[in-house]
Structure 1
Amino acid sequence: MRPLRYSINVTLDGCCDHRAIPADEELHRHAVENLARADALLFGRVTYEMMEAAWRAPARTGMSPDWMEPWMVPFARTIDATKKYVVSSTLDQVDWNAELVRGDLGKAIQELKRQPGTGLFVGGEKLPLALTELGLIDEYEFVVHPRLAGHGPTLFAGLSKHVELKLVSRQEFASGAVAMQYKPRR
């Protein structure tokens, strides 16, 4: 079975609002390395729409937007080219190399995990919460940034039960951020 991995950036006070976390070249390289460990991405509607708006290659010109730094281009190209699955009951269709996932979430994700490949990678807040409740995430990565946001959404709000995790690796970055990978204790 291909593993389902979750990675998210978070501040020291638990905020996971991407606008509260500065991007830098080293962290973008790390994200590209993470994406290379998966052959498909799994998004909920909100994350899919946010990522598509930011990272989809412009169809007409193929040129990067003015705001995009040169060191962001590898991430943009990688996420643009990767297969995507979108869990949504409100969208009628998706494109951007994506297909909709409908029906029973647990069964649908188990089927995706059974397909051949190197792994699935999930992002966002609400979908990972649902997948955690179902015990479907095989690896969690929290990239903790040395910043206090004082606002914003937090991770796993409303989780119905404790999930015991085992630290399997950690990596420090020049910015002071630390990426910590955990696997569930099963």
Structure 2
Amino acid sequence: MSDLVLMMSVSIDGCFAGPDGELGWQLINDELHEHFNRRLAAMSGFLDGRVTYQLMADYWPTADQDPASTPPVVEFARIWREMPKTVFSRTLDHADWNTTIARTVDPREITALKSSSASDLAVGGAVLAAELRRLDLIDEYSLYVHPVVLGRGRPLFPPSDTRTDLVLAETRTFDSGVMLLRYLRR
């Protein structure tokens, strides 16, 4: 059975975005982007919330056509376009780029998807991640901690009465100062 892998960039104070959703504080250089590409290219699919999907769909389908795009950006544009995607949304009417729309997060359907996938599935979006965590469906938490304290912003996980115990599986520091903390569900 494949795993659900949450890969998320966060500030030192645990925010995935600034107060207005801004992401410009993230330190994504070629080294980190190449790392993301290697990990994501090996996945069987992307599971995204609506906001994350729309952010990705607004940029990645044509990102490789910009002459200023770096080789890692060009490579990820191809990965993103070709990867099967499931977007969880109650409001989205249409989705392109090899995307299926799911109206609800059904634990049985997620488990069936994990069972039928050849490799791991990447989870994108804080709202979706919180729901999958609540249902105890995330198998791996790969947090990319950026050396930034935002002070205010959107926390990765909202307050919850659900505890999730994890085991540290890997750490890695990138040249930019970003640190990967990879945890597996106990």
Tell me the TM-score normalized by structure 2: 0.90
1:149 is paired with a residue whose SS is coil
Query: Is 1:64 aligned with 2:65?
Result: yes
How do residues 84-163 of structure 1 correspond to structure 2 at under 5 angstroms?
Answer: 84-163=85-164
**Which residue pairs with 1:24 in the alignment?**
29
How do residues 26-41 of structure 1 correspond to structure 2 at under 5 angstroms?
Answer: 26-41=31-46
Distance in 2, matches of 1:72 and 1:105, equals 33
**Which residue pairs with 1:169 in the alignment?**
170
Q: Cα 1:118–1:13, aligned 2, differ >3 Å: closer, same or farther?
A: same
Q: Cα 1:104–1:26, aligned 2, differ >3 Å: closer, same or farther?
A: closer
* Structure 1 letter corresponding to 2:153: G
User: Does the Cα contact within 8 Å between 2:3 and 2:120 map onto a contact in 1?
Assistant: yes
Distance in 1, matches of 2:93 and 2:12, equals 38
Distance in 2, matches of 1:77 and 1:52, equals 12
User: Does the Cα contact within 8 Å between 2:44 and 2:117 map onto a contact in 1?
Assistant: no
What is the Cα deviation at residue 103 of structure 1? 4.0
* Structure 2 letter corresponding to 1:13: D
Q: Relative to structure 2, which stretch is displaced further, 26-35 or 147-156?
A: 147-156
What is the Cα deviation at residue 67 of structure 1? 5.7
Distance in 1, matches of 2:90 and 2:66, equals 31
Q: Output one character per residue of 1:40-65: Cα deviation in whole Å (capped at 9) or x when no partner.
A: 0000111100011121137xxxx523
* Structure 2 letter corresponding to 1:134: L
Distance in 2, matches of 1:162 and 1:173, equals 29
**Which residue pairs with 1:80 in the alignment?**
81
Q: Output one character per residue of 1:10-61: Cα deviation in whole Å (capped at 9) or x when no partner.
A: 1112121232212210110111012023110000111100011121137xxx
Distance in 1, matches of 2:143 and 2:160, equals 17
* Structure 1 letter corresponding to 2:131: A
Tell me the TM-score normalized by structure 1: 0.90
Distance in 2, matches of 1:69 and 1:150, equals 31
What is the Cα deviation at residue 142 of structure 1? 0.4
Give every structure 1 segment of 4 or more consecutive aligned residues whose post-TM-superposition deviation is greater than 3 Å.
66-71
Name structure 1 gaps, 5 residues minimum.
none
Aligned residue pairs total 181
RMSD: 1.7
Distance in 2, matches of 1:111 and 1:4, equals 12
* Structure 1 letter corresponding to 2:81: D
Percent of residue pairs identical: 35
Q: Cα 1:116–1:21, aligned 2, differ >3 Å: closer, same or farther?
A: closer
**Which residue pairs with 2:20 in the alignment?**
none
Q: Cα 1:153–1:175, aligned 2, differ >3 Å: closer, same or farther?
A: same
